[in-house]
């Protein structure tokens, strides 16, 4: 499977795949011609990478525990490191959601105070 199909299978672009390789997240083998060759395991890994990035982790985060993404069991001190990184991101997400929610409330009350007639009629 070459880069175009692999990218499509994982919901990414060829450019992204080359970038991930450049960043050390992936090491597809090469055909004699030089073309990258992706297997099913690579595609699964790409999907995991995409999920993690979508979930707010950075490339560096993913790289820091790339070896564990292979499906191998994580245990010992390594899994603790992974857990700490992930939990830190989770806490950041929570904080951001909280700030946005507070902002939303303030904004809503601001709008309500200033445009209450409009607000009453437009919002059911």
Partner DNA sequence: CTTGAACTTGACGTTCGCGGAAGGTTCTAG
Partner DNA sequence: CTAGAACCTTCCGCGAACGTCAAGTTCAAG
Is 93 a residue that touches DNA (CB under 7 A)? no
Sole binder of its own copies in the list 29, 33, 34, 123 (CB under 8 A): 123
The answer to whether 43 and 9 have CB atoms below 8 angstroms apart is yes
Which of DNA, its own copies, none sits in contact with 120, Cβ below 5 to 8 A by type? Answer: none
In 3D space, the residue among 55, 99, 92, 51 whose CA is nearest the CA of residue 84 turns out to be 92
The answer to whether 30 and 20 have CB atoms below 8 angstroms apart is no
Distance between CA atoms of residues 117 and 107, nearest Å? 16
Nearest residue (CB) to its own copies, 3 versus 10:
10
Which of DNA, its own copies, none sits in contact with 5, Cβ below 5 to 8 A by type? Answer: DNA
Distance between CA atoms of residues 116 and 122, nearest Å? 10
Q: What is the DSSP string of 89-123?
A: HHHHHHHHHHHHHHHHHHHHHHHHHHSHHHHHHH-
Sole binder of DNA in the list 10, 26, 36, 42 (CB under 7 A): 36
Residues of this chain that interact with DNA (CB under 7 A) are 2-5, 12-16, 18-20, 31-36, 53, 57-60
Residues of this chain that interact with its own copies (CB under 8 A) are 51-52, 54-57, 65, 68, 74-75, 79-80, 82-84, 86-87, 89-90, 93-94, 96-97, 99-104, 106-108, 110-111, 114-115, 117-119, 122-123
């Amino acid at each position: 499977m070459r880069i175009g199909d692999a990218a499509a299978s994982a919901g990414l672009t060829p450019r992204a795949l080359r970038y991930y390789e450049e960043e050390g997240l992936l090491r597809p083998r090469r055909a004699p011609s030089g073309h990258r060759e992706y297997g099913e395991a690579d595609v699964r890994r790409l999907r995991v990478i995409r999920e993690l990035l979508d979930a707010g982790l950075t490339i560096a985060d993913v790289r820091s525990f790339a070896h564990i993404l292979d499906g191998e069991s994580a245990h010992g001190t390594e899994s603790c490191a992974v857990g700490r990184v992930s939990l830190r991101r989770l806490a950041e997400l929570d904080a951001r959601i909280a700030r946005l929610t507070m902002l939303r409330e303030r904004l809503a009350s601001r709008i309500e105070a200033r445009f209450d007639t409009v607000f009453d009629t437009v919002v059911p």
